[in-house]
Structure 1
Amino acid sequence: MTELRAVTAAGERVSAVLHRERHEPGAVELLVSAAEVWRLFPEIGATGTAGMDALLRALRAELDRDPPGEDSACVVTWPSRDAEAIRAFLDHGLAPMTALAVRTAPPEPVAELPGVTIRRARPEDFDAALDLALEIFDYSTLVALPRREETAEVLAPDLRRKLDQGTAPVWVAEVDGVVAGLADCSWVDVTADSGAAELLPLGSWGYLNNVGTARELRGRGIGRALAGTTHEYFRERGATGTYLYYNPPNPLSSVFWHRQGYRPLLTIWEVRPASLLR
Structure 2
Amino acid sequence: MTDRTAEQSEHFARIDPLLPPVTDLPEGEHLTAVLPDGREVHGVLYRAVYGAGSPESLWAARENWELTPLIGNTGAEGMSALLGALRRRLDREPPTQDSACAVAWPSRDAEATRALLDHGLQPLNALAVRPNRPAPEVDVPGVLVRRARPVDEEEIIALRMNELRYSALVGPNVVRENATELITAEVRRGLVFGGRTWIAESGGAAVGLASCGWTTPAAGSSIAGRLGWGRWGYVGTLSVIAPARGGGVGQALMSVAHDQLNLDDVEGTFLFYSPTNPLSPVFWHRQGYRPLWTMWEIRPASALR
Same fold (TM over 0.5): yes
The match for 1:252 is 279
Q: Are the counterparts in 2 of residues 104 and 241 from structure 1 also a CA contact under 8 Å?
A: yes
The match for 2:23 is none
TM-score by length of 2: 0.87
**Percent identity for Structure 1 against Structure 2:** 48
The match for 1:158 is 186
- Greater shift, 141-150 or 93-102, is seen at 141-150
- What is the aligned counterpart of 1:174 among 184, 201, 223? 201
Structure 1 stretches of at least 4 aligned residues deviating more than 3 Å after TM superposition: 193-197
Q: Are the counterparts in 2 of residues 107 and 228 from structure 1 also a CA contact under 8 Å?
A: no
The match for 1:65 is 92
The reply to whether residue 51 of structure 1 matches residue 53 of structure 2 is no
Q: Are the counterparts in 1 of residues 69 and 82 from structure 2 also a CA contact under 8 Å?
A: yes
Aligned length: 276
Unmatched tracts of structure 1, length 5 or more:
none
Distance 2:36 2:148 in 1: 58
Distance 1:223 1:158 in 2: 22
Q: Are the counterparts in 2 of residues 79 and 267 from structure 1 also a CA contact under 8 Å?
A: yes
CA distances 1:63-99 after superposition (whole Å, capped 9, x unpaired): 1111111000001111111111101000000001110
Distance 1:189 1:11, change over 3 A: closer
Q: CA deviation at 1:9?
A: 3.0
Distance 1:36 1:110, change over 3 A: same
TM-score by length of 1: 0.95
Q: Are the counterparts in 1 of residues 213 and 261 from structure 2 also a CA contact under 8 Å?
A: no
Root-mean-square deviation over aligned CA pairs: 1.5
Q: Secondary structure of 2:81's match?
A: helix
Distance 2:299 2:92 in 1: 18
The match for 2:14 is none
Distance 2:39 2:117 in 1: 21
Unmatched tracts of structure 2, length 5 or more:
1-27
The match for 1:34 is 61
Q: Are the counterparts in 1 of residues 217 and 225 from structure 2 also a CA contact under 8 Å?
A: no
Distance 1:200 1:188 in 2: 11
Q: Are the counterparts in 1 of residues 65 and 101 from structure 2 also a CA contact under 8 Å?
A: yes
The match for 2:232 is 205
Distance 2:87 2:93 in 1: 10
